[in-house]
Chains A and B, each alone.
Chain A
Amino acid sequence: MDSRVSLIGEFYRGLPKERAKVETYESGFEYLERLLTDGMELEYAEMPHMGLLHKYKLSNIPRYRMVELLLSHVEKRANLCLYFHDEANSLFCFNLDNNSKTNNTALIPEMQLAAGLLREQLTAIGCEPLLVASGRGYHVWCRLASPVANKQLYDLMLYCMARVMAGLHERGLDYNKVKANFYPDPRTQNVVSLRLFGTEHARNKVFSRILSGDAILDEAASWAAFEEHVRTKTIADEAFQKALSTMAAAFRQGA
């Protein structure tokens, strides 16, 4: 098996693998017939842009077909996006997007500052994140040793993001320019998915590069940083609980 597939599988080990969204330029009823074999089902499909990119939300994916999809992901033939579990997860992610209607792939100062502040905030409470360029901003992933209730994950993300937005405001920047979504979000379970690291953005063809310090790494260095993160940056159960307690206490005190 391609070692990148194993690595991706290891990082995202906690996410459901029987459902996924696949982004590809392949289309047509013959393609759909080939795709929907082995019991796989299409919940719906999207052709959301003027071009030919298609997105297929699939369910009942057998294990070996998921491995095939992961391979197509790292080989850049398709992008794979996964959903989160309904109750508890061993990953959480902030999805920071440029909220502008026009030119929203531009890296705006608000986005750079928000990503930096979020990394500082998470690192300070013992939850060092992995920042992946997403096309319109960043996916800020944190990997946990074991599953944590979604309510606790959401609370921690809310506390952290409130601090980040306050940081933008204090510096005279408009926090409305950054749209922040949380994964998992109790309101949108099984509704929204996130693209995995290790592929190209479907439209601009830019690899999902990792932000290290102030530098965006190239593809090879991003894979190395990803591997390093899997090996050394997993957050222990006690560390997560301590981080949550710290942030909750700070907010109770109005910090």
Chain B
Amino acid sequence: MKTIAVDLDDTLNNFTETLRGTDFSNEASYGIPDETFHAYMAKLRAGLADDSDLLSTEYTYFRYKIHLQCYERADARADGIEFMQWLRKNHWRIVICTHRDLRRCSDSTKQWLRNNGMPFDHLFMALHKPNFCKTWGIGHLVDDHLFSIAQGRRHGVQVFYPAMEKHTSIEPNGARAFKTFEEVRQWIQG
């Protein structure tokens, strides 16, 4: 059976646009004053790394709560829906492969996929997606992540990525940029 791994955030949806464009409000459950809320939101929207030496902090908890909202609010790409449905009709095994912490959002992720008519077979969290694909014998990966684009060929995985601003300065390294999922459909058929 032909198998493909497909990422979610900024691949099948508009996660970053949702994060940057949504008017989030401070909630009691965050346990932080408004000033801190606005500082954390700015840091999150700028995509800055957490500079703490600690794994779990007030900021990491806040980030997780905001990301959860983005997962639910993000819009699906219309051509992504068509692509996923085409994969199903053509008997591909579809693995959703994400960096999301699925312990906390597997149910909402599945619901989002169902609500948007995106069929899938399995849901996987993989830190190193090319390594995951190699281990599971998956030859195709659709993913916007720079690391996957850089590492895919080394692991024998053909990576396809949606062309975005952040990709302009990278070496494609055998990965193929696409504007629409229709291009990916044609490539994987060939």
A-side interface residues toward B, CB under 8 Å?
27-29, 32, 42-50, 52, 57, 97, 99-102, 104, 176-177, 179, 188, 191-192
Evaluate contact between A27 and B135: CB separation under 8 angstroms. yes
Q: Is B180 an interface residue (CB 8 A)?
A: no
Q: Return the contact of A48 from the options B52, B56, B125 (Cβ within 8 A).
A: B125
Return the 10 tightest CB-CB contacts between A and B, nearest first: A44-B123, A44-B102, A46-B125, A44-B106, A47-B126, A99-B54, A47-B132, A179-B56, A45-B124, A99-B55
> Which of chain B's residues 1-56 have a Cβ closer than 8 Å to chain A?
1, 3, 52-56
Please name the residue on chain A nearest to B54 by beta carbon: A99
> Which of chain B's residues 114-169 have a Cβ closer than 8 Å to chain A?
122-128, 131-132, 135-137
Evaluate contact between B55 and A47: CB separation under 8 angstroms. no
- Which chain A residues border B106 with CB–CB below 8 Å? 43-44, 57
Evaluate contact between A27 and B136: CB separation under 8 angstroms. yes
Instruction: Say yes or no: A44-B124 contact (C-beta < 8 A), given A99-B55, A100-B55, A179-B56.
Output: yes
Q: Is B89 an interface residue (CB 8 A)?
A: no
A-B contact pairs, 5 of them (CB 8 A): A42-B122, A43-B106, A44-B102, A44-B122, A45-B125
> Count the B residues whose beta carbon is within 8 Å of the partner chain — how many?
25
Rounded to whole angstroms, the CA-CA distance of A28 and B122 in the bound complex is: 12
- Which chain B residues border A179 with CB–CB below 8 Å? 55-56
- Which chain A residues border B137 with CB–CB below 8 Å? 28-29
Evaluate contact between B56 and A102: CB separation under 8 angstroms. no
Evaluate contact between B122 and A45: CB separation under 8 angstroms. yes
Please name the residue on chain B nearest to A176 by beta carbon: B54
Q: Is B93 an interface residue (CB 8 A)?
A: yes
> Which of chain B's residues 76-114 have a Cβ closer than 8 Å to chain A?
93, 102-104, 106
Evaluate contact between B54 and A52: CB separation under 8 angstroms. no
- Which chain B residues border A46 with CB–CB below 8 Å? 102, 124-126
Closest Cβ–Cβ distance, residue B189 to chain A (whole Å): 22
Closest Cβ–Cβ distance, residue B83 to chain A (whole Å): 22
Evaluate contact between B127 and A49: CB separation under 8 angstroms. yes
Evaluate contact between A101 and B124: CB separation under 8 angstroms. no
Q: Return the contact of B55 from the options A57, A104, A188 (Cβ within 8 A).
A: A104
Rounded to whole angstroms, the CA-CA distance of A29 and B104 in the bound complex is: 24
Evaluate contact between B102 and A47: CB separation under 8 angstroms. no
Please name the residue on chain B nearest to A43 by beta carbon: B106
Rounded to whole angstroms, the CA-CA distance of A46 and B122 in the bound complex is: 11
The residue in B54, B93, B106, B131 that gathers the most chain A C-beta atoms within 10 A of its C-beta is B54
Rounded to whole angstroms, the CA-CA distance of A46 and B126 in the bound complex is: 6
Evaluate contact between A191 and B104: CB separation under 8 angstroms. yes
Rounded to whole angstroms, the CA-CA distance of A49 and B126 in the bound complex is: 8
Closest Cβ–Cβ distance, residue B187 to chain A (whole Å): 23
Rounded to whole angstroms, the CA-CA distance of A191 and B127 in the bound complex is: 19
Rounded to whole angstroms, the CA-CA distance of A28 and B138 in the bound complex is: 10
- Which chain B residues border A191 with CB–CB below 8 Å? 103-104
Rounded to whole angstroms, the CA-CA distance of A101 and B54 in the bound complex is: 5
Evaluate contact between A29 and B54: CB separation under 8 angstroms. no
Q: Return the contact of B136 from the options A29, A48, A102 (Cβ within 8 A).
A: A29
- Which chain B residues border A27 with CB–CB below 8 Å? 135-136
Rounded to whole angstroms, the CA-CA distance of A104 and B94 in the bound complex is: 35
Rounded to whole angstroms, the CA-CA distance of A227 and B31 in the bound complex is: 42
Rounded to whole angstroms, the CA-CA distance of A177 and B55 in the bound complex is: 9
Rounded to whole angstroms, the CA-CA distance of A104 and B55 in the bound complex is: 9
- Which chain B residues border A57 with CB–CB below 8 Å? 102-103, 106
- Which chain A residues border B131 with CB–CB below 8 Å? 47, 50
- Which chain A residues border B53 with CB–CB below 8 Å? 100-102
Rounded to whole angstroms, the CA-CA distance of A48 and B54 in the bound complex is: 18
Closest Cβ–Cβ distance, residue A21 to chain B (whole Å): 9
- Which chain A residues border B55 with CB–CB below 8 Å? 97, 99-101, 104, 179
